[in-house]
Amino acid sequence: MSRREFTKAVYAQIVKRAMLPSGEIACEGCGLILGKKRYHVDHTIPDALQVDKRGKLTAEDGKLLGWECCHKPKTANDQGVIAKAKRVEESYLAMQRPKQKIRSPGFAKSQKPPRISKPRLPPAQLYAPIQETRR
């Protein structure tokens, strides 16, 4: 299912919520005043983990996060959580990942080298010859 994005109206609501009385925008994750730094309106719960996507996203579903301070680390963590959730769901539903066929032709069969004729070895002497003992 596709990811829901915030509408412009909701996005504006979130930015206004993050704005301080002085007019500066602060990160809603850590409170850092962002000034001209980049920020991102983040899905508080990653949309990929949302089961019910019928509802529209509201300002409650998003958080304004500074790009450097909070968004980047959260996104990296979310990616891992999302991948894990997918694996767990697949295993729960006993889904099988489609197996891919090997597309390359593989290796050519090599010719066996011809046998080399060697002279037979003399029979090995396993025991020492019987020695006559004199008294």
Amino acid in position 32: L
Backbone angles phi, psi at 16, to 5 degrees: -65, -40
Judged by CB under 5 A, the stretch of 22-30, 34-42, 86-94, 110-118 that binds Zn ion is 22-30
Cα–Cα distance for residue pair 109/106, rounded to 1 Å: 9
Binding of residue 27 to Zn ion (CB under 5 A): yes
How far is residue 63 from each of residues 20, 46, 85, 86, 126, measured CA to CA in Å?
A: 15, 11, 22, 24, 88
* Residue 10 touching Zn ion (CB under 5 A): no
29 vs 46 by CB, closer to Zn ion:
29
According to the binding rule CB under 5 A, does residue 41 interact with Zn ion? no
Which of residues 19, 30, 81, 88 is near Zn ion by CB under 5 A? 30
Of 44-52, 60-68, 92-100, 117-125, the window that binds Zn ion (rule: CB under 5 A) is 60-68
Q: Which is nearer to Zn ion, 10 or 70 (CB)?
A: 70
Cβ(26)–Cβ(32) below 8 Å: yes
Rounded CA separation 46/57 (Å): 12
Q: Which stretch of DSSP H or E encloses residue 83?
A: helix 72-92
The single residue among 15, 48, 69, 82 that binds Zn ion, judged by CB under 5 A, is: 69
Residue 14 Cβ vs Zn ion, minimum distance, rounded to whole Å: 14
Footprint on this chain of Zn ion (rule: CB under 5 A):
27, 29-30, 32, 66, 69-70
